[in-house]
Amino acid sequence: MSGTDRIEELRVSIDALDRSIVALLAERTAVVRELTEFKHDEETVRSPRRVEQVIAKVRALADAHGMPPAVAEAVYRTLIDELTVLQLRRLEERRAARPRAAANGAA
C-alpha cells in the first residue's frame, strides 16, 4: 500500500469517527436541553463547580486513553461555553413566556 493510499484510508476512518463524535455530541446536547428545563437561574446554568468537575473528569479520561488532556479540555471548554449560551437563551425564553402565560390565564 502506498503512502497516498494509506492517507486516504485514514481519512475515511476519521470521517467515520467524526460522524460518531457528532452523533454523541448531539445526544449530549439533547440531554443538556432537557436538563435546562429544570434550571431556574443563571447561576444554576453556569454551575462553575460542575464545569470544573467535568473538565477534571475529561482530562483524566483523555489521559487514560492516551490523548493529550489539554486537547480534551479545550474541546470541552468550547462545548460547555456554547451549551451554556444555549441554556441561557432557553432560560430567557422561559422567563419571557411567563408574563404572557400569566396574562393569557388571567383573561
Within 10 A of 83 (CB to CB), how many other CB atoms are there? Answer: 19
pLDDT in tens, 49-84: 999 999 999 999 999 999 999 999 999 999 999 999
Residue 98, CA distances (Å) to 7, 40, 44, 67, 85 in order? 55, 12, 19, 46, 20
Q: Mean of the per-residue pLDDT values for the chain?
A: 94
Residue 52 CA to residue 22 CA, distance in Å, equals 23
Q: Model pTM?
A: 0.87
